[in-house]
Amino acid sequence: MSDLEHLDVLVVGAGLSGIGAGYRLRTMSPTRTWAILEARDSLGGTWDLFRYPGVRSDSDMMTLGFPFEPWTDPDAIADGPKILDYLRRTADKHGITERIRLGHKVVAADWSSDEALWTVTVEHAGTRRQLTCSFLYLCSGYYDYERPHDPQLPGLETFEGQVVHPQFWPDDLDVSGRKVVVIGSGATAVTLVPSLADAGADVTMLQRTPTWIASLPRQDRVRDVLQKVLPGRAAGTAARYKNVLGTMGVYELSRRRPAVMRSMLSKGAAKSLGSTDLVADHFTPTYDPWDQRLCVVPDGDLFEAVRSGRAHVVTDTIETFVPHGIRLHSGRELDADVVVTATGLRIKLAGGIAMTVDGQARPTGDLTVYRGVMFAGVPNLAVCVGYVNASWTLRADLANRYVCRLLGHMEQNAWRVATPHAPEGMEGRPLLPLASGYVQRAAADLPQQGDGAPWLMRQNYLLDRRDMLRSDVTEAMSFGR
């Protein structure tokens, strides 16, 4: 027996997923020993890292919040500090904070079938140490915290102003009275533009291509009524289902009747902007809604900023940076004191952990998902991944509960090892239904899904709920002692 510290379950990451996993482990697997290792010096993941002005959710908080801790703040679309505060309070209240080991970065995980355990290598305070666990649960998010996507902007080195990436927003950046160009048209750019305008900047959103954008009310009147007439948990559940069905309805309509959705979004934008020309020029993508993520703006704040002239949108491509700004392929030049590169994340799966199974490297790009939670041929390992077309937490919580169900089955039957086994010759398919740049750039590192259950990564909460909470955990799974 080695003298390394051993835990039954090791969770990697103390963001929204890891905190939710902690709650489910505590309540559904009370006999197991477990801890959460977190690379950073604070919990909260995404909601602690991103500090740019206006950072907020773009899905509603009734579904982004945990089902066991209903979101009660009046804002249905909430800003980052409120979400971080909610995560901290939830972790404290449910006894999860004390299980989190901050500043512990997992760099390698090696499975040994002989010992039926993972040996995990961790960097902490400048040194490396190892511990073992029976089950490894990766709640490490989906993107690189250190390196965002670098679009290789031409001539950037000649620019004499300040260049800022939203992932590393400087605390002391004052944009008031300065010319700011935000490059990008995704969720981050559409959040930043009205916030920078509010902060007194003369702001221009420079986009290569438009994005579909929907305006949603910041506050949810129906939820407010439900909270008045129903007790806390019941109100939370009712509001969650209302929003689950609403979001699924929009997604299904977009997929089945894209022309209807295009028309609805265009009309909504035209009403907010007071101009059909602006919609035609800057808010009409060539792709259909939900081919890429649909962006949400609360109370139409981006449209309002553009309509009032406090913000501008330019659709063009960059020829080169110049000392005072950006020259575009149209010949136009944009003056800038500050350029914000809202050009996207770099996908990083499995926390960048180098993984081996009995000495053989298992890169994520070679793997096939099982129920979107485990991988074929990889024992005692699960990953927590949310939805791309609905709130992350909806799926993350199902994954957490599925893992606890599997652990319960293993405990009852004294199994030490559970390994999904894919059928011979199963056809592989791409994992995600999005044509977005960040997904396409990561294609080689993404696992694949199979051609039928339980090898599918569905983007459908109602089907997943039945599957993850009720399915036979022995299906396509081999167990061993």
Ligand X SMILES: Cc1cc2nc3c(=O)[nH]c(=O)nc-3n(C[C@H](O)[C@H](O)[C@H](O)COP(=O)(O)OP(=O)(O)OC[C@H]3O[C@@H](n4cnc5c(N)ncnc54)[C@H](O)[C@@H]3O)c2cc1C
Interacting residues toward ligand X by CB under 6 A: 12-18, 37-40, 45-46, 50, 55, 57-59, 64, 105-106, 139-141, 145, 188, 351-353, 384, 386, 391-392
User: Which residue in the block uniquely carries the two structure tokens 């996993």?
Assistant: 21
Closer residue to ligand X in complex, CB, 140/422: 140
What are the CA-CA distances from residue 224 to residues 6, 71, 76, 228, 328 (Å)? 47, 11, 10, 6, 47
Q: CB of 83: closest distance to ligand X in angstroms?
A: 8
Closer CB to ligand X, residue 111 or residue 321?
111
- The smaller minimum CB distance to ligand X, of residues 10 and 226, is found at 10
Q: Nearest approach, Cβ of 16 to ligand X (angstroms)?
A: 4
* Residue 304 near residue 194 (C-beta atoms within 8 A): yes
Burial of 180: CB neighbours in 10 Å, binned 0-12, 13-18, 19+: buried
Confirm if 51 and 172 have CB atoms less than 8 A apart.
Answer: no
> What six digits make up the tokens of 308?
């009032």
Residue (64 or 338) nearer to ligand X, CB: 64
Label the pairing between strands 325-328 and 448-449: unpaired
Helices vs strands, H then E, count in the chain: 13, 25
Q: Nearer Cβ to ligand X, position 140 or 364? A: 140
Cβ-Cβ contacts under 8 Å for 475 (sequence gap 6 or more):
454
User: At closest approach, how far in Å is the CB of 140 from ligand X?
Assistant: 3
Nearest residue (CB) to ligand X, 45 versus 447: 45
Rounded CA-CA distance 459/330 in Å is: 40
Amino acid in the structure at residue 442: A
CB of 452 to ligand X, least distance (A): 27
Q: Three-state SS for 64?
A: helix
Cα dihedral 345, 356, 11, 397 sign: positive
Min separation Cβ 274 and ligand X, Å: 28
Beta bridge partner(s), residue 89: none
132 vs 140 by CB, closer to ligand X: 140
Residue 206: strand pairing partners: 183, 314
| CB closer to ligand X out of 188 and 227 | 188
Is residue 145 within 8 Å of residue 304, measured between CB atoms? no
- Cβ neighbours of residue 428 under 8 Å, at least 6 residues apart? 368, 448, 449, 450, 451
Cβ contacts of 89 within 8 Å, gap of 6 or more: none
Q: Report, in Å, the least distance between residue 364 CB and ligand X.
A: 13
User: In angstroms, what is the minimal distance from the CB of 466 to ligand X?
Assistant: 21
Q: Which one, of 291, 240, 224, lies nearest residue 62 by Cα?
A: 240
Q: How far is the CB of 228 from ligand X (least distance, A)?
A: 25
Taking the complex as a whole, how short is the minimal distance between the CB of residue 219 and ligand X, in angstroms?
16
Q: Which helix (H) or strand (E) holds 462?
A: helix 461-470
Nearer to ligand X, 15 or 161 (CB): 15
Question: Residue 57 CB, nearest distance to ligand X (Å)?
Answer: 3
Output 9 or 353, the one with its CB closest to ligand X.
Answer: 353
